[in-house]
Structures are given as C-alpha cells and as structure tokens.
Amino acid sequence: IAALVAALAPKTLAEIRAQLLVHPARSLWFGFLAQSLLIGAMVVLAISVVGLLLSPAMAVVAGLTGLAGYILGAYAFGVGLLQAVGRPLPAQWSDRAIAGALGAAVACLLALIPFVGWLFVLALTLAGVGAAVLHLLRPRFFA
C-alpha cells in the first residue's frame, strides 16, 4: 500500500516521511492526541441518542486512521533503516516500494517480540498518524 501511495503522491509522502524522521517524538505526541480525539469522539457520540448512529462511523474512521498511520510509519521506518545502512533517500518509485516493504517486514518481525513488540507497533502507528496530522493541519503553537 505504501508503494501505491508513493506512486500517487510522492511529494506528500516525502514530506510526511521527513516530518516523521526529523521530529519522531513530536509526531508520536500528535498521533496520540489525534487518535485519542477520534476514540473520545466515538465515546461521546455513543452517549447521546442521536450520535449513537454515528458512533460506528467514527469507529471506522479511527480504524482507517490507525491503518494509514501504520502504513506511513512503516514506510518512514524502512527509509530510516535504508539510511542507516548508507543508502540515499528513495528517489524512484521502486526505491520507495522497497523502503515500504522493508519497513513493514522489519516492523512485523519486531512485533513478534513479547510485550515490547506491540508497544513498538503502537508507537510506529501513532507516529505515522501524528506525522500525517502535522502535515495536514500544520499546527503552530507559541507563534
């Protein structure tokens, strides 16, 4: 899926990847806030009678946001791994596909580690969500 995103929106994917690799803690924090907002909105909608019908839609939105965050996080993780072994940033579609596949494969292997693995995948997903939120909304604090 990351290869498909890389083919359709290479500039946007490069900006999100750069955001995630330059400021991983900030991306993780904003991802936590965004995902918490979506899940909290689902709960608040479920409390009201009218919003009870919208609550399943919010659950789908929260799930799709998490999936997109995992895809973006795995791609950025793959690019970071390739940079760690001395390869340049991916310039072509095939390089981006390799980076996405490498990131997803290594993330899956790391997810198999008991207890620590799911924390790594959670952090990777939240960082991907945060990088996307930072790219889309561009929040500015204390400016």
The mean pLDDT of 39-53, rounded to a whole number, is: 85
Contact criterion met (CB below 8 Å) for 48 and 73: no
The CA-CA-CA angle for residues 128, 34, 63, to 5°, reads 70
32 or 19, which is more confident:
32
Secondary structure string (H, E, C) spanning the chain: CHHHHHHHCHHHHHHHHHHHHHCHHHHHHHHHHHHHHHHHHHHHHHHCCCHHHCHHHHHHHHHHHHHHHHHHHHHHHHHHHHHHCCCCCCCCHHHHHHHHHHHHHHHHHHHCCCCHHHHHHHHHHHHHHHHHHHHHHCCCCCC
- In this prediction, residue 143 has a pLDDT band, given cuts at 50, 70 and 90, of low
Say what the pTM is.
0.88
Range with the lowest mean pLDDT among 25-39, 79-93, 113-127?
Answer: 79-93
- The two tokens of residue 52 are 């009870």
How far apart, in whole angstroms, are the C-alpha atoms of residue 12 and residue 10? Answer: 6
**Residue 142, pLDDT above cutoff 80:** no
- In this prediction, residue 31 has a pLDDT band, given cuts at 50, 70 and 90, of very high
- In this prediction, residue 6 has a pLDDT band, given cuts at 50, 70 and 90, of confident
The pLDDT of residue 46: 85
**Residue 54, pLDDT above cutoff 80:** yes
How far apart, in whole angstroms, are the C-alpha atoms of residue 58 and residue 132? Answer: 18
